[in-house]
Structure 1
Amino acid sequence: MKRGLHIITGLGVGGAERQLPALLRRLPLACDVVTLTNPGAVARDLRAQGVRVTDLGMAGSRDLSVLPRLAGLIRAGGYDLVHTHLYRACVYGRIAARLAGVRAVVATEHSLGARRIEGRPLTQATRALYLATERLGAATVAVSATVAERLITWGVPAGRIHVVPNGIEPAAFRFDPQARRAVRDRLGLPPGAFVVGGVGRLVPGKGFDALVRAVGTLPEGVRLVLAGEGPQRAALTRLAARLGAADRVVLTGEWPDVPGLLAAFDLFVSPSTEETFGLAVLEALAAGLPVLHVTCPAVDELPRREAPGARRVGREAADLARAVRAELSLGARRLPVPDAVRRYDVDRTAERLMAVYEAAHVALPEEVGLP
């Protein structure tokens, strides 16, 4: 193999999106990237490291005009392998790759929850379309054993599934006191405030409404900073105001400098009820933060001793408030980086992904018709 193409739904600041720059710096394969829509901050990062990024400007989920354009781009690029990420890109990318004559297609399933996929409710139609196009690829990558089990339950053959966890660059998240001061000043946080933080898309499955309610019951010195965008932003703003906590809840929108943001926090909370991996939790652990999480396969699938700074808690606002109060009593502190962080080093992820690529290139799937 000499050339690969990564196809992703969008390149805003998200876990799946932020994986690409780190991976492409390590994969021994020349790769280009296509985003179906939203060429955001991650697209700028990729271009800065010399990766060619093409935005197809997809108008919506049913914009079928993207198929011939994507197939033509794949054909013209002479790619040996196509790797798709996120639901829409997996569906359209697999079909386009087959139309272009590329059969070595790998798809990573990043966000398949028990009831939601990428923050949206799962439907029978969603599942049927996914399964029909999954047959067009050579392999499907699950980012955790939890996701692999869900894929098998859906009907994806176990032999086609490879578990390749997400990876992080531990050194990038090392605590920086100067960044802490700069980010806190930029966010207007009072000196001495105890800052609870969360990172992720503002969608119902992430549970940020429960976290806002929890913080609304805590002392005035506690601030909540949520970094991310999504359809729940306005509702979360209204909720904070209704609780009388509008001045204590900061919604930053997309924040590309995640290491700087984590330096500004004193406690990281992931209230997500349907997490498929938990990259943000690992990044927080790499920054030395104590972590509270409702679900996090990246940690939950490991022995407890490998992530002593992470504690699993209940999903309700009262559970979160009680857990935050316990951390508040211990004061702001930094913890040693745990073994879990080193286990998920992105170098290991790149090595395992290359093994999947090689297998997909050699053992191509049996011929199937387009759905």
Structure 2
Amino acid sequence: MKVLHVITGLGVGGAEQQLRLLLRHLPARCEVVTLTHPGPVADGLRADGVPVVHLGMTGNRDLSALPRLTRLVRAGRYDLVHTHLYRACLYGRLAARLAGVRAVVATEHSLGETQTEGRPLTAGVRALYLAGERLGSTTVAVSPTVAARLRRWGVPASRIEVVPNGIDLARFRFDPVRRHRTRRRLGLPDDAFVVGGIGRLVPGKRFDVLVRALARLPGDCRLLLVGGGPDEHVLRREARRAGVADRVLLTGERPGLPDGSPGPDLPSLACAMDVLASPSPEEAFGLAAVEGLASGLPVLYAACPALEDLPPHTAPAARRVPCGDEEFGRALAEVRAAGPGPRTAPEAARHYCITRSAARLMDVYATALARQSLSPAPQGVSSA
């Protein structure tokens, strides 16, 4: 099976890193087209032996990208096209159909209640999304919560499949030696209580809540924020205002490891933490929280469908906290007072093993390919 993945960009982000990890476990010939920004994840994919093409799209309305993408799909003679993220889903679905590929799968990574990928869900955005969705075979939701949102939008339930994000459990296994070495490399004292946050530094992640919560904690507490983004200067300013600038460490975007492992060195950074905090009030999955659990960390979250969709006993060290600095400050103080527990991955983390997600996605592919000869081409779309 030959599959083309079309994604909006390949900078360091959750969907982008998830794609790279997934391709390491999919038993299919995969190639990737990025519409924009062939960043660190593109380099990592190439290091893995995955061909990556940069389409050079200049903006959302760069319509010249559509014929270029259509020609690329047609020339590649792909069995299936898989699209990721809003812009790539719009252009990729249409290009696939114009090129004659009828098996078209799209993963919905970032659909929240009020926004998607930081874009407000206006009536226009929703209408355009639904028009593009009709050109696909299947829409993959990364959680049952996202599947329910898609159904409320009007996407037929028969076209929706749930394939959750996955994690590499072995890579996130806690290692006390790695913890000590990582803390030493970062300049974090061995006896410090380290609050961790993982994600893009954008307003929707609400990492400002953790900065202000830190000001409510004793001086031995530190905040380690892993990720880059446009809000970095805002968070540094907030830390100075709160009087905790010397206790906040922002790592920025990190390239892959020398061994070619995907994305930032998240497992080592998670080992250095004592608790993972996710104050974002709106998530499609909550991958950072699951990664924290895989490292055996207690997890405090404002929203995490990945955990909310499972029974509470599968993640006993996870706790939902309202998105506020007072609430997070109090919850973090309680975790600190309780002291360290065993750093073992709970059932919830094991539930999201990447091999399970890859196997489920292959089932989706097989079904889409089986249906392609039965479904008529959408009216007005020609494969000529």
Q: TM-score under structure 2 normalisation?
A: 0.93
Unaligned runs of 5+ in 2: 255-263
Residue identity matched to 1:194: F
What per-residue deviation string (whole Å, max 9, x for no partner) do you get for residues 253-301 of structure 1? 1131111110111110011111111111111111111111111111111
1:333: how far off? 4.1
1:188: how far off? 2.3
Residue identity matched to 1:114: E
1:325: how far off? 0.3
1:41: how far off? 2.1
Asked if structure 1 preserves the Cα contact closer than 8 Å seen for 2:165 and 2:357, the reply is: yes
Asked if structure 2 preserves the Cα contact closer than 8 Å seen for 1:16 and 1:110, the reply is: yes
Hey, what's the Cα distance between the residues in 1 that align with 2:98 and 2:20? 27
Single out whichever of 303-312 and 361-370 deviates more from structure 2: 361-370
1:158: how far off? 1.1
Hey, what's the Cα distance between the residues in 2 that align with 1:60 and 1:351? 34
Asked if structure 2 preserves the Cα contact closer than 8 Å seen for 1:194 and 1:332, the reply is: no
Corresponding residue number in structure 2 for 1:347: 355
1:360: how far off? 0.9
Q: Percent identity?
A: 61
Superposed, 1:269-348 pairs within 5 Å as 269-348=277-356
Corresponding residue number in structure 2 for 1:177: 176
Asked if structure 1 preserves the Cα contact closer than 8 Å seen for 2:137 and 2:368, the reply is: yes
Asked if structure 2 preserves the Cα contact closer than 8 Å seen for 1:195 and 1:264, the reply is: yes
Residue identity matched to 1:366: P
Corresponding residue number in structure 2 for 1:42: 41
Residue identity matched to 2:286: G
Corresponding residue number in structure 1 for 2:241: 242
Cα pair distance change 1:338/1:123, threshold 3 Å: same
Residue identity matched to 1:169: D
Cα pair distance change 1:282/1:370, threshold 3 Å: farther
Asked if structure 1 preserves the Cα contact closer than 8 Å seen for 2:173 and 2:344, the reply is: no
1:370: how far off? 5.6
SS class of match (1:268): strand
Hey, what's the Cα distance between the residues in 2 that align with 1:60 and 1:8? 14
Residue identity matched to 1:302: L
Residue identity matched to 2:147: A
Q: TM-score under structure 1 normalisation?
A: 0.96
Corresponding residue number in structure 2 for 1:124: 123
Superposed, 1:70-81 pairs within 5 Å as 70-81=69-80
Cα pair distance change 1:63/1:178, threshold 3 Å: farther
Asked if structure 2 preserves the Cα contact closer than 8 Å seen for 1:266 and 1:333, the reply is: no
Asked if structure 2 preserves the Cα contact closer than 8 Å seen for 1:95 and 1:370, the reply is: no
Single out whichever of 16-25 and 217-226 deviates more from structure 2: 16-25
Hey, what's the Cα distance between the residues in 2 that align with 1:33 and 1:143? 20
Hey, what's the Cα distance between the residues in 2 that align with 1:366 and 1:279? 37
Single out whichever of 191-200 and 315-324 deviates more from structure 2: 191-200
SS class of match (1:253): coil
Asked if structure 2 preserves the Cα contact closer than 8 Å seen for 1:136 and 1:370, the reply is: no
SS class of match (2:251): strand
Hey, what's the Cα distance between the residues in 2 that align with 1:210 and 1:158? 37
Hey, what's the Cα distance between the residues in 1 that align with 2:190 and 2:118? 35
Please, what is the CA RMSD of the aligned residues? Answer: 1.5
SS class of match (1:184): helix
1:132: how far off? 0.6
Asked if structure 1 preserves the Cα contact closer than 8 Å seen for 2:196 and 2:276, the reply is: yes
